[in-house]
Amino acid sequence: MANIVKTKPRQGITVLGKYTIGTSTTLMAIVVILFVFLSSTSSVFATPENLSNLLRQTSINGIIALGMLMVIITAGIDLSVGAIVAIAGIVNALLMQAGMSMWVSMPLTLVIGAAIGVFNGILIHEVSITPFIATLGTLTIVRGIVMIMSGARMVANLPKEFGQIASGDIFGIPSMFIIWMVLFVATLFLLNYTQLGRNFFIIGSSKEVARLSGIRLRPNMYAVYGLSSLYAALAGILLSSRLSMGVPTAGISYELDAIAAVVIGGGSLFGAAGSAIGAVLGAIIMQTIRNGGNLLGIDPFALQVIIGALILIAVGVDQLRMRKAEKG
């Protein structure tokens, strides 16, 4: 048994490294092809204004995707992130409207968001509710709370300096994109160079192996769902900053976009596979298709079909890869 505990997680991480490199190269090539194609077919796509708008649009979904990535690596799922985007925007807006400084309201909102994630972890680990059902229930509860808190109305008249967080640039680069890249580097470091990140991969490979390896499942499950919700809460704050208001219906279907970005980026719904760069590239591909499709006048419903087909292809490739690994 000792040999199994030592070798299985290590083999999984080695295979992951080889797979991630190839996947990332392929995804980068797809991004380049999309940019070249759209630049040649649309006179607007490559303009600074549209590229800046594209980066801002992608940053929101990209931040949520990084949090979702960590959950999926543990073979879990988090359907509550879209609702957390909404409640973070509303809570932060209401606190500022009540006179609280945004430098106090934003950290407080992030703590509330992380607490919702820990609640998900409690439901999953302590009550043994499957992640899908637990986070679906949380999604429904949080959506209801948002409507009660806001009276189903937008919360406007927020401080001008709050709106500048999302609309501002640093050396010509959208500040939202810089925040996303800082989180990307932090997530990359966490997953590849910390014990917590290694624990996520081992748990995704086998909870029994993780337990026999001495990994405490409780704090790790609390951590992964807390981080996912923390990232979603930050995305909600940035979205409300971009809109200059808290919107109770914000974040609808964002959880699906995040899952799609992770899967397209090489993450496996079976767990123990995925990378931060893959999640970033997956989010960029999805948003670039949407942005380019809108500029080319493609029916938005047709775009939805294209993105859905892309998700099915990514999941199908993942299934084939898993079968090949089992046979080999």
Position 328 scores a pLDDT of: 59
User: Between residues 182 and 273, which one has the greater pLDDT?
Assistant: 182
Q: Does the structure show a pLDDT above 60 at 107?
A: yes
Indicate which CATH number applies to the domain containing 243.
1.10.3470
Mean pLDDT over 88-99 rounds to 95
Please list the residues that pair with 174 across neighbouring strands.
169
Average pLDDT over residues 104-133: 96
Q: How confident is the model at residue 1 (pLDDT cuts 50, 70, 90)?
A: very low
- Identify the CA nearest to 258 among candidates 242, 275, 282, 274: 282
**Number of structural domains found in the chain:** 1
- Determine the structural domain holding residue 255 and report its residue range: 2-327
Better-scored residue on pLDDT, 320 or 158:
158
